[in-house]
């Protein structure tokens, strides 16, 4: 699988030391990072990297399709790798945790719904809010 860096080069981005560092942190990170999250981690390795750079990098990476921007309804955007298999999010209301899941049937149904309305589905955004079932 192509590395983030390779994909940057393909898009004609120059690869400075700081950008490399951000890429490294991104590659090692799990889950859904906000700009502040990422900045915190990156600053731990090089305290000269500014928040503005982190924002600019995230924006660029979203534009070249390396990251996907997530919006969970609080007012901070989060990012995740774009090339993961498509999935949606279930938000655990008891602890704020995020469970990822795949549901091809859902996508199929949504496409059909859009079709009924006279539209072609280009994408969707689905977040489930749920509480864990006790017995298990």
Partner DNA sequence: ATAATTGCAAATGTTTTGCATATCG
Partner DNA sequence: CGATATGCAAAACATTTGCAATTAT
Residues 121 and 69: their CA atoms lie apart, in Å, by: 19
Burial class (CB in 10 A: 0-12, 13-18, 19+), 88: middle
Least Å distance between CB 112 and DNA?
33
Q: Which stretch binds a copy of itself (CB under 8 A): 5-13, 29-37, 52-60, 110-118?
A: 110-118
Q: 90 touches which of DNA, a copy of itself, none (CB within 5 to 8 A by kind)?
A: a copy of itself
Helix-helix angle 35-45:51-63, to 10 degrees: 120
Binding mask 2-21 for a copy of itself (x = CB under 8 A): --------------------
Q: Which stretch binds a copy of itself (CB under 8 A): 13-21, 30-38, 56-64, 114-122?
A: 114-122
Task: Give the three-state DSSP class for 15.
Answer: coil
């Amino acid at each position: 699988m192509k590395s983030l860096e390779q994909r940057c080069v393909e898009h004609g981005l120059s690869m400075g030391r700081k950008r490399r560092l951000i890429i490294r942190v991104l590659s090692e990170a799990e889950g859904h990072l906000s700009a502040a999250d990422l900045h915190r981690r990156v600053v731990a390795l090089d305290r000269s990297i500014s928040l503005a750079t982190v924002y600019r990098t995230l924006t660029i990476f979203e534009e070249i399709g390396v990251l996907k921007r997530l919006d969970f309804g609080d007012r901070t955007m989060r990012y995740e790798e774009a090339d993961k298999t498509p999935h949606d999010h279930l938000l655990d209301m008891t602890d704020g945790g995020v469970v990822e899941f795949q549901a091809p049937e859902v996508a199929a149904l949504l496409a059909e719904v859009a079709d009924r309305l006279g539209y072609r589905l280009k994408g969707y955004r689905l977040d489930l809010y749920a509480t864990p079932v006790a017995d298990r």
